[in-house]
Amino acid sequence: MRSKLIAGNWKMNTSWEEAKSLFNSVNEFPSNNKSMAVCVPACYLAGLCPAHPNLSVFAQDCSAHEKGAFTGEISAAMLASLGVKGSLVGHSERRQYHNETSELLKRKVDQLLANKLTAIYCIGETLEERNNELHFATVTKQIEEVIGHLSSTQMKNIVIAYEPVWAIGTGVTASNDQAQEMHAHIRSFLKTTFGEVANDIQILYGGSMNAANAQALLACEDVDGGLIGGASLKVADFEFIYNA
Ligand code: 13P
Q: What is the pLDDT of residues 92-135, one digit of tens each?
A: 999 999 999 999 999 999 999 999 999 999 999 999 999 999 99
CA-CA distance, 29 to 238, in Å (whole number)? 10
Confidence tier at 6 by pLDDT (50, 70, 90)? very high
Contact 15, 238 (CB under 8 A): no
Q: Of these residues, 93, 125, 129, 163, which one is catalytic? A: 163
Average per-residue pLDDT in the chain? 97
Catalytic site residue 163? yes
pLDDT value at 1 more than 80: no
Q: Measure 67 CA to ligand 1 centroid, in angstroms.
A: 30
Distances 18 to 3, 21, 109 between C-alpha atoms, Å: 30, 5, 30
The continuous run of DSSP H or E covering 93 comes out as helix 92-97
Probe target for ligand 1 pocket from 13, 227, 237, with the most ligand atoms within 8 Å of CB? 227
pTM over 0.95: yes
Catalytic site residue 125? no
Query: pLDDT exceeding 70 applies to what percent of the chain?
Result: 100
Q: Measure 205 CA to ligand 1 centroid, in angstroms.
A: 10
Q: Measure 213 CA to ligand 1 centroid, in angstroms.
A: 14
Residue among 179, 175, 230 nearest 208 (CA): 230
Parallel, antiparallel, or unpaired for β 35-39 and 5-9? parallel
In the chain, the domains with their CATH numbers are: 4-243 (3.20.20.70)
pLDDT value at 186 more than 90: yes
Pocket of ligand 1 (CB under 6 A): 9, 91, 163, 168-169, 206-209, 227-231
